[in-house]
């Protein structure tokens, strides 16, 4: 039964709204903007990956608070002049910093479509809630989790880790933390993770009130994987000291080197020790989509919770992450509320029971699922898996070029899609080598040719790339290798001249 809407008059003289006065002019502007954004992807290869921001632009982006509007046209022109030319760089084929993904043309349109719907996803009886659930269900299947597993989309891996570890704490503390809070019973709650584990895990442990001390850093082997003997020893010692171990965190792709812990061993261990196994697969979980790589992350499907990102190795634009929680009741137990104003009804907009606010931090939630759903439908999991395979082959190709170079040295095994290396012609002491590599990294970034990022391995400044980029081609790694050698030599010579 639908009711015909009454006719509403045009706004009277003292009422305003935010719609355009001239819809035709707005339509023309919007089409122009869309073309601009598509050009930005089609011709991204012709552009530098990154440019420094000029002082004038810096100033233009710190103005007084505007009291009068300038209109859509003028605001858009300002965007074109001050924002558009200075991107992060991750759309570019030679962006390999951190674990950034490149985005795709259809997902750019998807951002517009979800903005157009302006859905508040996951709470109401609308199509966006179904799409949200569909995406989670597809990922369970893709990663070998059974259909009854729970899950939710998140802003990214950090929140996915937080949600997973919240459930771990609440289930494994041995008392009702959700009811009584941390410390209601004696014994520090502890979490075990390798030294190579991402900082967001520490942040989660701290936010969960368990304290920095609660995260027990476990040693790694020469492959940067968690040392199982050290794990066992720390667990035994902590138990003997009256602590309450709650979880082991396994890595499916560490940020520094792409290392994958022995997830099957961790799953066995977690089971025999009655601990929760949380796997951080922020980018590395996507290895499961590649027939060539999926064995590398074997055991991931046994996790009690798995965190991963779409905005990394699936090339979805920021933001989109996800967490799967094996025990559905545990998931809801940690996040459920009983707010009067969030009633689940039997009909109307409230007739949706799998509400997202009982599965994560957020109430208001964007329709992030749409871009993931559209990309998966457009490309299919086979092609998405091929990109993963392709990127890992590119990593091995680049590693081979580094290994054959007399100027560069690889400093870790190639993990999935990550290569860590240094400029090192063999005659540099530690301090000079760090200085040269730091300068090399910044110069390459400033040149706009490529965007690698940096870390520290064995206490030394290290350049690393993590290839989550569907636009990269093998030739890009040749160009990059040549630039590293030439620029490294130039810096070394300059430093030599400065000294003398
Ligand atoms: C990126 C990353 C995270 C954090 O994820 P965000 O999406 O940036 O919040 C956690 N763990 C690993 C291994 C990562 O690469």
pLDDT at residue 137, rounded to an integer: 98
255 lines ligand 1 (CB under 6 A): yes
103 lines ligand 1 (CB under 6 A): no
418 lines ligand 1 (CB under 6 A): no
Angle at CA of residue 65, ends 63 and 68, nearest 5°: 115
Q: How far apart are CA 243 and CA 98, in angstroms?
A: 35
193 lines ligand 1 (CB under 6 A): no
244 lines ligand 1 (CB under 6 A): no
All residue ranges of the chain with pLDDT < 50 are: none
* Substitution candidate for ligand 1 out of 99, 201, 257 with most atoms within 8 A of CB: 99
Nearest residue (by CA) to ligand 1, atom 3, is 157
Rounded to the nearest angstrom, the distance between the alpha carbon of 197 and the centre of ligand 1 is 10
pLDDT at residue 9, rounded to an integer: 63
200 lines ligand 1 (CB under 6 A): yes
258 lines ligand 1 (CB under 6 A): no
pLDDT at residue 8, rounded to an integer: 65
Nearest residue (by CA) to ligand 1, atom 5, is 157
Rounded to the nearest angstrom, the distance between the alpha carbon of 239 and the centre of ligand 1 is 30
Rounded to the nearest angstrom, the distance between the alpha carbon of 466 and the centre of ligand 1 is 12
282 lines ligand 1 (CB under 6 A): yes
Nearest residue (by CA) to ligand 1, atom 14, is 282
468 lines ligand 1 (CB under 6 A): no
Secondary structure of the chain as H, E, C letters: CCCCCCCCCCCCCCCCCCCCCCHHHHHHHHHHHHHHHHHHHHCHHHCCCCCCCCHHHHHHCCCCCCCCCCCHHHHHHHHHHHCCCCCCCCCCCCECCCCCCCCCHHHHHHHHHHHHHCCCCCCCCCHHHHHHHHHHHHHHHHCCCCCCCEEEEECCHHHHHHHHHHHHHHHHCCCCHHHHCCCCCCCCEEEEEECCCCHHHHHHHHHCCCCHHHEEEECECCCCCECHHHHHHHHHHHHHCCCEEEEEEEEECCCCCCCECCHHHHHHHHHHCCCEEEEECCCHHHHHHCCCCHHHHCCHHHCCEEEEECCCCCCCCCCCEEEEECCHHHHHHHHCCCCHHHCCCCCHHHCCCCCHHHCCCCCCCCCCHHHHHHHHHHHHHHHHHHHHHHHHHHHHHHHHHHHHCCCEEECCCCECCEEEEEECCCCCCHHHHHHHHHHHHHHHHHHCCCECEEEEECCEEEEEEECCCCCCCHHHHHHHHHHHHHHHHHHHHHHHHHHC
157 lines ligand 1 (CB under 6 A): yes
């Amino acid at each position: 039964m639908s009711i015909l809407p009454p006719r509403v008059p045009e706004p009277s003289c003292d009422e305003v709204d935010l719609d355009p006065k001239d819809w035709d002019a707005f339509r023309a502007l919007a089409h122009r903007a869309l073309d601009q954004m598509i050009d930005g992807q089609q011709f991204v290869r012709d552009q530098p990956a990154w440019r420094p921001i000029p002082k004038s632009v810096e100033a233009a982006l710190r103005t007084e608070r505007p009291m009068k509007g300038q209109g859509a046209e003028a605001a858009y022109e300002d965007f074109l002049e001050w924002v558009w030319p200075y991107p992060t760089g991750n759309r570019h084929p030679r962006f390999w910093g951190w674990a950034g993904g490149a985005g795709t043309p259809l997902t750019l349109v998807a951002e517009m479509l979800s903005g157009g719907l302006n859905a508040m996803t996951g709470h109401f009886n609308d199509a966006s809630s179904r799409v949200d659930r569909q995406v989670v269900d597809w990922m369970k299947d893709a990663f070998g989790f059974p259909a009854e597993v729970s899950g939710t989309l998140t802003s990214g891996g950090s929140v996915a880790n937080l949600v997973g570890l919240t459930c771990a704490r609440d289930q494994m503390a041995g008392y009702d933390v959700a009811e009584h809070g941390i410390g209601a019973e004696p014994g520090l709650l502890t979490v075990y993770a390798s030294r190579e584990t991402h900082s967001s895990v520490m942040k989660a442990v701290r936010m969960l009130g368990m304290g920095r001390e609660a995260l027990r850093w476990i040693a790694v082997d020469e492959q940067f994987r968690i040392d199982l003997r050290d794990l066992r020893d720390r667990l035994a010692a902590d138990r003997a000291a009256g602590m309450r171990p709650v979880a082991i965190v396994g890595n499916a792709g560490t940020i520094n080197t792409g290392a994958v812990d022995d997830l099957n061993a961790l799953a066995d261990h977690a089971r025999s020790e009655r601990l929760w196994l949380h796997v951080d697969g922020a980018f590395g979980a996507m290895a499961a989509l590649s027939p060539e790589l999926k064995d590398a992350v074997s055991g991931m499907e046994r996790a009690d919770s798995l965190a991963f990102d779409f905005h990394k190795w699936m090339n979805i634009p920021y933001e989109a992450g996800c967490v799967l929680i094996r025990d559905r009741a545990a998931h809801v137990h940690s996040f459920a509320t009983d707010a009067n104003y969030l009633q689940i009804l039997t009909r109307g907009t409230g007739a949706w029971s799998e509400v997202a606010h009982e599965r994560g931090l957020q109430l208001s939630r964007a329709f992030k699922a749409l871009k993931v759903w559209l990309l998966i439908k457009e490309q299919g999991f086979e092609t998405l898996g091929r990109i993963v395979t392709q990127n890992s082959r590119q990593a091995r190709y680049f590693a081979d070029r580094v290994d054959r170079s007399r100027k560069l040295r690889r400093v870790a095994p190639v993990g999935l899609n990550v290569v860590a290396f240094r400029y090192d012609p063999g005659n540099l002491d530690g301090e000079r080598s760090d200085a040269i590599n730091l300068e090399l990294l910044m110069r390459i970034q400033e040149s706009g040719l490529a965007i690698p990022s940096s870390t520290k391995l064995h206490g030394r400044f290290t350049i690393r790339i993590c290839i989550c980029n569907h636009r990269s081609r093998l030739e890009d790694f040749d160009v990059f290798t040549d630039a590293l050698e030439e620029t490294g030599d130039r810096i070394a010579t300059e430093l030599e001249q400065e000294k003398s």
